[in-house]
Amino acid sequence: MTSYKTPAVYVEEISTFPPSVAEVSTAIPAFIGYTEKADRVTPGDLTNKPTRISSMLDYETLFGKAEATPLTIPVDSPPDTPPADSTPEPIPPFNPPDVNYFMYYALRLYFDNGGGSCYIVSVGSYSDSATKNKDDFIKGLEALKKEDEPTLILFTDAVNLPTVQDYHDLCQAALAQCNELKDRFAIFDVKHSLEPAGGVETLKIAEEVQAFRDNIGTEDLKYGAAYYPYLQTSINYYYTDDSVTMADSKTLTENKGKTEFYNRVKAELAKKRVVLPPSAGVAGVYASVDRDRGVWKAPANVSLASVIGPTLKINNQEQENLNIEPTSGKSINAIRSFTGKGTLVWGARTLAGNDNEWRYIPVRRLFNLIEESIQKSTSFVVFESNNAITWLKVKTMVETYLEGLWRQGALAGATPEKAFFVNVGLGKSMTTQDILEGRLIVEIGIAAVRPAEFIILRFSHKLQEA
């Protein structure tokens, strides 16, 4: 109490409200991969330095554009002075080459699907990365570990690592980081070959999914989700006139003066679209669903923007083996195309698909949100008196926060008492020995809502009545 010595009128403000829980962000992805450059607006190297951006303009300013795709048009350039009655030959179809670096296109897909602020971790530039290296990504992942805000981890270029095992080792490292920090979740792509399946799509799906399951390991699976197959997007290839070569070995730049021919080739190139792994688009769905509905809503049954369709069509029977796997329990979420609906995310399971507690993505991410929000908001209690007054402050603060979530529909139960409980105090959550050793223990139970994954409509005959 303040000691007053001079006669006067003094004003004291008494705090009557308990502290409140400030909710953390839920969908701040970190994209780890190669970029064209890694420079600040002011000089400075951004390699392996997680950098927050909020738009494609931010990305292009700091990290550049996509690598110019080398394309070959299988047609000879016309002569400088073609005959007056000549008819332009049709341009034969061509097969665009694989994209070496996905980061730029992945960001396009992310923002197109409702993504917001995110982090970029550049692990090297195109010119310095002739061979992609797992160690580059490991360094980027370690750098991300020091950042508190990111809540999702994505590897944009890792599917193109030299060996399949390199990619899966990286996925395991990401799951380990999620488990250690307990504030983030990993979104993976199942490595997918774009070679024609030769009419045996079911066999190809089974082989690619099984390869992922066999190599992803068994630890920390509740902190990650995988998606399959790749997506045929509506995003154009990034190219320059110098990166487009004609059949006569001349570049498009050398044919720029031949206006009609040049315009025809440009129009043909505009029809070619990039095929991308689905994780970036899915991250955008996570962000938009979290913003519009809440982290407790499953990021599924949502259409993907800037997507023409999945590269493989998956039917109900094929998805059975993706969604539920009795032996390992490693669920794979399908991206499927439905007539009249478009391309939808059609799965909401973590890799721990047989785990009753952590089977669903929204349950795992809701707990991440609640755990981190309460952890940060109770830091004021450290070194406070471990007595009933402090216990009451903590209990009231946590209960108020959880009741707010319950009213938003995040928790199951007809009343707050059925949706959650908070226990703190001597004889409730602590013993005398706990207090002597400086521990203040709060027990929190939450009834998380779970997605209705299987909708069952039961029909029967009703006998005619008089």
Same domain, yes or no: 257 and 406? no
DSSP 222-253: GGEEEEES-EEEEEEPP--GGGEEETTS-BTT
Output the CA torsion sign for 289, 290, 295, 296. Answer: negative
Same domain, yes or no: 308 and 416? no
Same domain, yes or no: 353 and 409? no
Q: How far apart are CA 173 and CA 184, in angstroms?
A: 13
Assess if residue 207 is contained within a domain.
yes
Assess if residue 7 is contained within a domain.
no
Tell me the β-bridge partners of 197: none
Contacts 24+ apart (CB under 8 A), 240-246: 240/68, 242/68, 243/68, 243/69, 243/70, 243/71, 244/70, 244/71, 244/72, 244/73, 244/269, 245/70, 245/71, 245/72, 245/73, 246/72, 246/73, 246/75, 246/76, 246/77
Assess if residue 371 is contained within a domain.
no
CB atoms within 10 A of CB 423: 15
Same domain, yes or no: 330 and 401? no
Same domain, yes or no: 348 and 396? no
Residue ending a domain, choose from 348, 363, 378: 363
Same domain, yes or no: 266 and 193? yes
Tens-level pLDDT at each residue, the chain (466 residues)? 678 888 989 888 877 777 888 889 899 999 999 999 988 766 678 999 999 999 999 999 999 999 888 877 776 666 665 555 556 666 555 565 678 899 999 999 999 999 999 999 999 988 776 677 899 999 999 999 999 999 999 998 899 898 899 999 999 999 999 999 999 999 999 998 877 666 678 888 889 999 999 999 999 999 999 999 999 999 998 888 888 877 777 777 777 766 668 677 777 777 788 999 999 999 999 999 999 999 999 999 999 999 999 999 999 999 999 998 888 889 999 999 999 999 999 999 999 999 999 999 999 999 999 999 999 999 999 999 999 999 999 999 999 999 999 999 999 999 999 999 999 999 999 999 999 999 999 999 999 999 988 888 888 888 888 6
CB atoms within 10 A of CB 393: 17
Assess if residue 379 is contained within a domain.
no
CATH number of the domain bearing residue 196: 3.40.50.11780
Assess if residue 369 is contained within a domain.
no
Single-letter residue type at 427: G
CB atoms within 10 A of CB 379: 7
pTM of the full predicted structure? 0.90
Same domain, yes or no: 256 and 355? yes
| pLDDT at residue 78, as a whole number | 65
| pLDDT at residue 92, as a whole number | 57
Same domain, yes or no: 306 and 443? no
Assess if residue 96 is contained within a domain.
yes
Assess if residue 381 is contained within a domain.
no
Q: How far apart are CA 351 and CA 362, in angstroms?
A: 13
Same domain, yes or no: 267 and 302? yes
Q: How far apart are CA 271 and CA 146, in angstroms?
A: 42
Q: How far apart are CA 31 and CA 53, in angstroms?
A: 11
| pLDDT at residue 269, as a whole number | 75
Assess if residue 256 is contained within a domain.
yes
| pLDDT at residue 41, as a whole number | 63
Residue ending a domain, choose from 330, 363, 396: 363
Single-letter residue type at 77: S
| pLDDT at residue 93, as a whole number | 58
3 state DSSP class of 379: helix
Same domain, yes or no: 116 and 202? yes
Tell me the β-bridge partners of 337: 343
Instruction: Supply the DSSP symbol for 427.
Output: T
Looking at the structure of the chain, the number of domains it has is: 2
| pLDDT at residue 68, as a whole number | 86
Same domain, yes or no: 357 and 412? no
Range of the domain at 394: 386-466
Same domain, yes or no: 331 and 405? no
